[in-house]
């Protein structure tokens, strides 16, 4: 989505592909760029992608039908399988060498492979907290994010577990906000979540992006960010999404773009993963 200027007037320009053709939509802004341009961009995005959001609703509808017919014992097994896959992939993206098979052995049979004790401990704790956060919804707060972080890293990274960073961090070429600004940015993010009227899948993608840009912890931001993403999806009645290790390159590339670009990437990815639920 771009802002263009024609004859001293500004427009939003957005291109979408439909049936193999590129369709361009424009929205008039006036002779000045409005102060609430970010909100206008979000609304325009939903306006031109109406069919896309209808598919998301179909996914929720069919998922809820499937889930309501699933026996409790089968639900428990399914969530355990999701927990294994999510824990493996989210840790692997961050550099863990524990394989999917080893993750399953650790979580189901308490088997410790010949791998880093820290990696093994984080695997156990991540899976446990992931299953716990699905059981009960609590309003998203700084305290809740700190709790998740502490429970995952208290054994492996005790010095940074459950505390916001007090130092500068760099991720590749990206320099995260100054440590003095973390609380302010998190407060803005939490207020946005609380007041948001946007679609839950869009919200999950946007807030994952925003959280990663704030990068409030010394380590574990990706894992907490992907936990937050699925927390929003699950407690709004939508099936979750696992960012797989094999898609790490495209995922990281999308995170280097602007928020709207990442949101586009995330929703398209979500539709692809849950394609069978809307076709």
User: Is the pLDDT at 250 greater than 90, yes or no?
Assistant: yes
pTM for the structure as a whole: 0.88
Report the C-alpha gap between 78 and 81 in whole angstroms.
5
* Residues 56/267, Cβ–Cβ less than 8 Å: yes
Structurally, the chain folds into a number of domains equal to 2
Is 240 a domain residue? yes
Is 77 a domain residue? yes
Same domain, 9 and 84: no
Same domain, 13 and 115: no
- Among 155, 154, 178, 183, which residue's Cα sits nearest to residue 168? 178
- 152-167: average pLDDT: 94
Is 201 a domain residue? yes
Phi, psi angle pair for 216, to nearest 5° = -75, -15
Same domain, 143 and 7: no
- 263-267: average pLDDT: 93
Same domain, 31 and 143: no
Same domain, 69 and 182: yes
Q: Which pLDDT does position 173 carry in this prediction?
A: 86
Same domain, 76 and 136: yes
- 214-233: average pLDDT: 96
Same domain, 20 and 118: no
Same domain, 25 and 97: no
Is 41 a domain residue? no
Is 188 a domain residue? yes
- 120-139: average pLDDT: 94
Q: Which pLDDT does position 1 carry in this prediction?
A: 73
Would you please indicate which residues are annotated as catalytic (active-site) residues?
Answer: 215
Tens-digit pLDDT profile for residues 224-240:
999 999 999 999 999 99
**Structural domain boundaries enclosing 29:** 1-35
Is 43 a domain residue? no
Same domain, 11 and 69: no
Same domain, 14 and 151: no
Q: List the CATH number of the domain containing 242.
A: 1.10.3290.10
Provide the sign of the torsion angle of the four alpha carbons 206, 207, 209, 213, taken in this order: positive
pLDDT grade, residue 87 (50/70/90)? Answer: very high
Same domain, 21 and 68: no
Phi, psi angle pair for 195, to nearest 5° = -90, -5
Q: Which pLDDT does position 86 carry in this prediction?
A: 96
Same domain, 70 and 114: yes
- With a CB cutoff of 8 Å and minimum separation 6, the contacts of 210 are 189, 192, 259
Tens-digit pLDDT profile for residues 161-203:
999 999 999 888 899 999 999 999 999 999 999 998 889 999 9
């Amino acid at each position: 989505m771009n802002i263009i200027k024609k004859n001293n007037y500004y427009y939003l320009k957005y291109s979408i592909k439909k049936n193999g053709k590129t369709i361009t939509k424009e929205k008039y802004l006036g002779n000045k760029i409005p102060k609430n341009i970010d909100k206008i961009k979000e609304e325009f995005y939903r306006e031109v992608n109406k069919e896309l959001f209808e598919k998301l609703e179909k996914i929720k509808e069919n998922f809820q039908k499937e889930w309501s017919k699933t026996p409790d014992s089968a639900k428990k097994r399914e969530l355990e399988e999701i927990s294994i896959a999510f824990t493996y992939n989210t840790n692997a993206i961050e550099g863990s060498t524990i394989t999917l098979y080893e993750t399953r052995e650790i979580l189901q049979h308490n088997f410790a492979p010949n791998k880093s004790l820290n990696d093994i401990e984080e695997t156990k704790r991540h899976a446990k907290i992931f299953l716990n956060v699905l059981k009960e919804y609590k309003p998203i707060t700084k305290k809740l994010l700190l709790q998740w972080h502490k429970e995952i890293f208290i054994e492996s990274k005790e010095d940074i577990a459950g505390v916001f960073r007090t130092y500068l961090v760099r991720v590749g070429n990206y320099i995260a906000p100054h440590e003095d600004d973390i609380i302010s940015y998190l407060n803005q993010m939490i207020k946005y979540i609380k007041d948001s009227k946007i679609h839950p899948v869009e919200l999950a993608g946007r807030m994952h992006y925003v959280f990663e840009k704030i990068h409030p912890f010394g380590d574990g931001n990706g894992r907490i960010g992907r936990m937050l993403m699925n927390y929003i999806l699950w407690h709004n009645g939508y099936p979750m999404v696992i960012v797989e290790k094999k898609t790490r390159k495209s995922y990281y590339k999308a995170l280097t773009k602007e928020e709207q670009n990442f949101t586009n990437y995330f929703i398209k990815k979500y539709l692809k993963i849950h394609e069978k639920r809307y076709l």
